[in-house]
Structure 1
Amino acid sequence: MYGLSWSLRSKPDWQRKAADPKIRAKWREEAIEQAAKSDESGTARALTLLQIDYVLSELDGYVKIADNEKGIERACFEAIWYSDRLISEDVMRRLKIAASVLENVPDDKKDWHPGSNGQVLDLVHPSLYCVVYSRTHAYLPGKPRTADNFLPDGWISEKFCWMPSDFTVADDGSVSLASPYINNLHLRVHQPLYRVIEEILAGFIPMFERVLGDVNREDNGRLSWDNTGRLGGIQCIWGPGKEPPYPEGEPGSDEDEDEFLQKFRDAAEKVVPAATVYTGQLEERCKPVSLRGRTIQCIVKLANIHLTPEKPEYAGGSWHVEGMVNERIIASGIYYYDEDNITESKLSFRVATAGPEYHMQDDIDCMKLLYGMARESECVQEIGEVVTKAGRALAWPNLFQHCVSPFKLADATKAGHRKILALFLVDPTADPVVSATDVPPQQAEWAAEALEEAAVAERASALGGLSRELRDLVRKQFPASFMTLQEAEAYRLTLMEERTAFVADHTEKVFSFPFNMCEH
């Protein structure tokens, strides 16, 4: 049902079309035809007429929860929101100009992400000059900022933490930087980019408020269905209070026991879930959480993917959530601000699920029809994908794993690229994490430049009058107080190794849990 709904809402100008009875009737016919094909092929459970009608009537609810002024709409699944009009053309233009200062540097200064085959160019990345426990200097008055410690080993880093910046959200929704700087972004050199990031984050505030509202609610919004089998309270496809008749006799010579039993299950009466009439559930449940008048923490990332005739294809990413537990990232936002000469790419999502309750050992039919699951299926639900075209803003909760699909050059004889700005929102309901408010810039190169500039600029600083001997004495303190680029890059590699292990363990324990169909 989610898939049908999203396919309709992905159509251009879908709201106008959905209001036209003729077009809606055509959509209904097409959905019925597609359901018949699915039923014949057996590749997926076909939607019933009631389910199709529910999806069509629910479209009115999606219209009501949309912010048509900013173009904010629900995407392929609950808590995933997108907009193609969130950021103005002027802000997009200024972002491209400001980011180009980071791009147009000598080749030996470009920061190609380790392990990316020279395709991912990091402009601002939180893994570089991150917080390194027992190495990074920080001012932390009052109670230390700590992470929860009740989760599995390896989910909370004991070595590193991405460093957010603090931002103030005004009552009118505008955003201003509260920290002295954004990590890895020189304040004096990149002042125009700072302003653009503030404006874009302000645009994302209504999206994040909707994500948080969806995550925060107690009602999961699922349609209820109360048909149960012999064990009360457990959903079942067999007739009320019934079980499939157990066959008499023995399997024939040309069939095994499973085939023998399946014949009887096929002939038994089944009751499939039926949708109810849509009565406004979407509007009732959509209650954004306000971030106005608060200070939030956000981690900033700018990255490009570059393809060339020599490297014409991007292989795509892996399934993952952002960060580790001690970063407390609750929502992710990505603004796809530029692309050129690449094929369509999508961002896919999936969510971990609890294993369904069985009501009879090895009841393959019930589990397949109700949940699409078989023995040893992973308890995970793929919840859709969103096209990531230029100009699109996308936000979702960090409860979902996401994965970038492969793409390649549209014209293999020319270079192409895709550029993004990512904003990772730290949980505003939890204690703050160590941020750029607590930690001075760690770049030794920045400190050396500041020292030299102060020495030559008239009355620029008290250091300006220091002799070279005193400046050299100050510079000798740099290794203990700041990080060289080589040191920061070494820490980054160790951080990446740690997070690769975390992603694998988290995926195995949360997103790959097998469904066992035994009764014990």
Structure 2
Amino acid sequence: MSQEELRYPVSGIAPYKPNYKLRNAYRNEEGHKYLSPFGHPYNMIFDQENQTRVSYPTLKDKQILALSYAIRQKPEWWIKYKNPEIVAKWQKETVASKEERDEFIQQNGMKAVAESPKVLQPLFDFVIAELAWYEKLKDSTDGQFQLAYSDYVFFGDKVIPSDLKTTFIKAAKKLEDIPDDLRDWHPGSNQQVWDLIHPSLYPLQYGITPVVKDLKNDHVGFEINYKGGCVPMPEYNFWRDSIKSDVSTFGISKRFQWLPSIFNVAKDGKVTIESYINNLHPVHYKDLYRPIADIFARFIPGINAALSQYASKEHIRDNPFTHEEGLYGPEPEFDENDPNYDEKYDEYIENRVPIVNDPVFEMPSGERVSQIDVHGTKLKVIVKMANIQLTPENPEYAGGTWHVEGTINEDIVCSCLYYYDVENITDDSELEFRAATDAPIYEQYDSDGVLAVYGLENGDLNTFYVGGVKTIEDRLIVFPNMLQHHVKPFKLQDKTKPGHRKILCFFVCDPYNDNVISTDQVPPQQSNWWSEQVLSNEEELKNNHYTIFDQLPTEVLEAIFDEVEWPMSLKRAKEVREELMEERSINSKKEEESEPDRNPFYRHFSLCEH
């Protein structure tokens, strides 16, 4: 490979062409062919065909969800809900009379109904009946994962065997055993977030990073031969590279893409990592690769469950439109010749009350349910490891910002988080979620009806907060990337001692999308990896590491490292990381403040939209 090829495409070299070959296509119920059953968090605003959007919940929905999650946080709830004596006890504790409910509304306002500790009898009956569905979802993961407050967020406790955890922590300690001045503190984190592995360091850069033109081998491991020719990727083109049916142009990076690795999930569930993890040297940290693969394998039941929920029709509990005529049912007939017609009609409009039947649970089934199974699939997975370190001098973590993972370029559909070491942290630490929703259907200017049914007022965000999950040690959390999430603030339990929370993250790219560039196509970008290969006399590196520059004289190699943009020094990589973070921060702030309608998480409800 020539020196020029490493920097920029030269005359006569064809540009890299993405692979559009997909395992199968997906059709919605109208028969329209899409390449993926998964939407994207940055949807087109008025798309009517997307199955994965979340409807704005009614007040009854919110009460059902809150009571159900309270019950499902009880130990062995899947056994207890079948015991009539226990259910009778729950009923006594949580069911209110209509008079009690009306008094609560009078004292606290209609919006507060969603926060009421008690519900009416029909909602309690719905919650108890629906627990069979929650148990069914739990059983689909072999009992390893269950739903949290949201219909999309799964969690599991002590899923990772203790011996695997011990092996992983022992191998990970090598990443931590470095001088303090070499720790990679995440920019802007007040030296609290220590990045052990982060995808923003050494990302793919369009027009700079070389990409293998022709990947001929089915299995590409750590000894990949890049001599077949590499050229930089052209700038991301939404119309060429996106496989979504409903994505807006918001959230696209023109410069960068995080680099996933190939995780081969066998039919029996065993996982093999077939290309290097970006920023984790496959020789120096070889002992980490196997436990990382084995931990990811333990996530598979949760991934299948979360992606199945993501691809399925929305689970509707309370449908307020029980009459063809709308929220209020048929209007009474008034004599138009009556001289008091206008007065009587206005009086009816002013005093009418929404007619909403109490919900009756029906088990989701048939075409409403999709089953996703990633066994037998080569997934593209982005790996991240980070420690949040608190000290007596720096005892409080302010929390994170609301975000989805990555951009449209990475096409992440699922996040998997493993909290493997938590020490001296307050137990109120949670990961919170919110969903972008469609505005409810309503009659123009019907503020009273919308408030009574949804608890919505003009100007409220269409965003629905779907609860939080405690981030305790040994907990796994899996959720689709249709939700925004953020870390709530937390602090030291004992402020005289240090504390930490350590996390291993996997971001799974859409398995239907072959256009995301991964590390089996990109030679390592770390200049020190390359210099070690050529200049080191260590036998292990000589026998096992990459052979990209084994024919180049040392002086040529050194000249490349000093003069070119690629491969990158750590100093340059950190500069690129700052540029990547700035690009994503500017886009997010711009869309939130100046064009919020392009970002569905910042759209406001307006009674004047008709």
Pair in the same fold by TM > 0.5: yes
User: How far apart, in 2, do the equivalents of 1:506 and 1:467 lie?
Assistant: 48
Distance 1:505 1:10, change over 3 A: farther
**Alpha carbons 1:129, 1:183 under 8 Å: kept:** yes
Distance 1:27 1:497, change over 3 A: same
Q: CA RMSD in A?
A: 3.2
Distance 1:265 1:458, change over 3 A: closer
Distance 1:306 1:281, change over 3 A: same
1:385 aligns with 2:468: yes
For residue 189 of structure 2, what is the aligned residue in structure 1? 116
Distance 1:431 1:352, change over 3 A: same
Q: Indicate the SS of the match to 2:264.
A: strand
User: Which of 180, 190, 195 is matched with 1:107 structurally?
Assistant: 180
State how 1:142-161 maps to structure 2 within 5 Å. 148-149=238-239, 155-161=251-257
The Cα of 1:27 is off from its aligned counterpart by 1.4
The Cα of 1:475 is off from its aligned counterpart by 2.3
User: Which of 62, 66, 88 is matched with 1:25 structurally?
Assistant: 88
For residue 152 of structure 2, what is the aligned residue in structure 1? 79
Q: Indicate the SS of the match to 1:301.
A: strand
**Alpha carbons 1:221, 1:281 under 8 Å: kept:** no
**Residues 264-273 or 54-63, more deviating:** 264-273
The Cα of 1:470 is off from its aligned counterpart by 3.1
1:446 aligns with 2:560: no
Distance 1:283 1:384, change over 3 A: farther
Letter in 1 for 2:74: K
**Alpha carbons 1:352, 1:510 under 8 Å: kept:** yes
The Cα of 1:44 is off from its aligned counterpart by 2.1
For residue 208 of structure 1, what is the aligned residue in structure 2? 303
**Alpha carbons 2:434, 2:484 under 8 Å: kept:** yes
For residue 128 of structure 1, what is the aligned residue in structure 2? 201
The Cα of 1:18 is off from its aligned counterpart by 2.0
User: How far apart, in 1, do the equivalents of 2:304 and 2:333 lie?
Assistant: 47
For residue 490 of structure 1, what is the aligned residue in structure 2? 575
Letter in 2 for 1:442: Q
User: How far apart, in 2, do the equivalents of 1:383 and 1:315 lie?
Assistant: 21
Distance 1:377 1:493, change over 3 A: same
For residue 515 of structure 1, what is the aligned residue in structure 2? 605
**Alpha carbons 2:317, 2:359 under 8 Å: kept:** no
User: How far apart, in 2, do the equivalents of 1:58 and 1:343 lie?
Assistant: 33
The Cα of 1:383 is off from its aligned counterpart by 1.3
User: Which of 130, 148, 156 is matched with 1:58 structurally?
Assistant: 130
State how 1:297-316 maps to structure 2 within 5 Å. 297-316=380-399
For residue 120 of structure 2, what is the aligned residue in structure 1? 48
The Cα of 1:69 is off from its aligned counterpart by 4.3
Distance 1:288 1:504, change over 3 A: farther
Q: Structure 2: any 5+ residue segments left out of the alignment? A: 1-63, 217-232, 335-339
**Alpha carbons 1:48, 1:274 under 8 Å: kept:** no
Distance 1:32 1:111, change over 3 A: same
Distance 1:476 1:396, change over 3 A: same
Letter in 2 for 1:135: I
1:502 aligns with 2:577: no
**Residues 470-479 or 192-201, more deviating:** 470-479
**Residues 490-499 or 40-49, more deviating:** 40-49
State how 1:170-181 maps to structure 2 within 5 Å. 170-179=266-275, 181=276
For residue 256 of structure 1, what is the aligned residue in structure 2? none
User: Which of 312, 317, 332 is matched with 1:217 structurally?
Assistant: 312
Distance 1:459 1:73, change over 3 A: closer
The Cα of 1:219 is off from its aligned counterpart by 5.1
**Alpha carbons 1:62, 1:282 under 8 Å: kept:** no
**Alpha carbons 1:454, 1:460 under 8 Å: kept:** no
Q: Indicate the SS of the match to 1:423.
A: strand
The Cα of 1:13 is off from its aligned counterpart by 2.5
For residue 434 of structure 2, what is the aligned residue in structure 1? 350
Letter in 2 for 1:77: S
State how 1:362-511 maps to structure 2 within 5 Å. 362-454=445-537, 470-479=553-562, 480=564, 481-505=566-590, 508=596, 509-511=599-601
The Cα of 1:373 is off from its aligned counterpart by 0.7
Distance 1:269 1:188, change over 3 A: closer
For residue 46 of structure 2, what is the aligned residue in structure 1? none
**Alpha carbons 1:303, 1:419 under 8 Å: kept:** yes
For residue 263 of structure 2, what is the aligned residue in structure 1? 167
User: How far apart, in 2, do the equivalents of 1:120 and 1:284 lie?
Assistant: 44
User: How far apart, in 1, do the equivalents of 2:325 and 2:208 lie?
Assistant: 55
Letter in 2 for 1:295: K
Q: Which TM-score applies when normalising by structure 1? A: 0.88
Q: Structure 1: any 5+ residue segments left out of the alignment? A: 250-260
Q: Indicate the SS of the match to 2:172.
A: helix
**Alpha carbons 1:265, 1:365 under 8 Å: kept:** no
The Cα of 1:240 is off from its aligned counterpart by 4.0
User: How far apart, in 1, do the equivalents of 2:509 and 2:574 lie?
Assistant: 24
Percent identity over the alignment is 37
Letter in 2 for 1:315: A
User: How far apart, in 1, do the equivalents of 2:333 and 2:460 lie?
Assistant: 23
**Alpha carbons 1:28, 1:56 under 8 Å: kept:** no
**Alpha carbons 1:50, 1:275 under 8 Å: kept:** yes
